[in-house]
Amino acid sequence: MLFIGIGAVAIVAGFSYWFFVLRSPAPEVVVESPTPTPTATPVHNLNTIFSNVAIQGVGVGNADPISDLVDTIKLPSEISVGGGEFIKLNITSETRGQASLGLLDFLLNPKQELIDNLGQDNIVLLYGQKEIFDSKGQLKTDAIVERRLVFINEIKDAMTALQMGKNWEVSMSEDLKSIFEFDTKKQQSNDFADNSHAGISIRYKNFKYADRSIDYAVVPALNGKSYLVISGSREAMYVAIGKLNGL
């Protein structure tokens, strides 16, 4: 019994020595949480809205940029645009370098309220006009595609822009006649009239028909911004509204 007791004590002592001294602790398993990779928020501006539109560079002089631009866009050899299509004009001058010119650069006396309300996002487009009317106001079925300019500018406040447009109507025809190439003597009315397209209100004046006009509207776009759109025809305005609304 003595030897059995001594053996039992030795076994217990040996097991205790192994359990408390020799046995290695179980390794800690460290679970690392993956660090999220920051994703850049895409900037949705006019360049992304019109990303599928070809770009055409146009150089203008300092003395008469309006005439230079008008003369250039008339030449099929210089600029090619299909019917119902837009191309983006990257207009540069000697004094501005690579900075692209916009609406304000082609207005002799831009209204201060217009200057104050314009944002940084803007684009100048050339549209291939398909809707052409003859001298009797009949739609020509065999007309050659013409060109119409469209200016699109971000605005800071839509209500202010609408009121600014109404105030500008007094001199808008004179201010835009050179760049849009219409004869003010052919205007159907001294006053602007109302129209709408895709739920957007439009103010317009025809010279003499809707294929050569001033159409302007404040258009809310898919990117959450609002834009002042000024076009040289009804058709160009409709297509521009469709692009801004993703139609």
Residue 140 has a pLDDT of 95
Written as tens digits, the pLDDT of the chain (247 aa) is 776 766 666 676 666 665 565 665 555 655 666 666 655 555 589 999 999 999 999 999 988 999 999 999 988 878 999 999 999 999 999 877 668 999 999 998 899 999 999 999 999 999 999 999 999 999 999 999 999 999 999 999 999 999 999 999 999 999 999 999 999 999 989 999 999 999 999 999 999 999 999 999 999 999 999 999 999 999 999 999 999 998 7
CB 188 within 8 A of CB 211: no
What six digits make up the tokens of 28?
């800690």
Domain boundaries, the chain: 46-244
Rounded CA gap, 122 and 101, in Å?
Answer: 9
Identity of residue 114: L
Number of helical H runs and strand E runs in the chain = 6, 8
User: Which residues face 48 on adjacent strands?
Assistant: none
For position 96, what pLDDT does the model report? 73
Angstrom distances, CA of residue 142 to CA of 76, 130, 184, 212, 233: 18, 10, 26, 17, 18
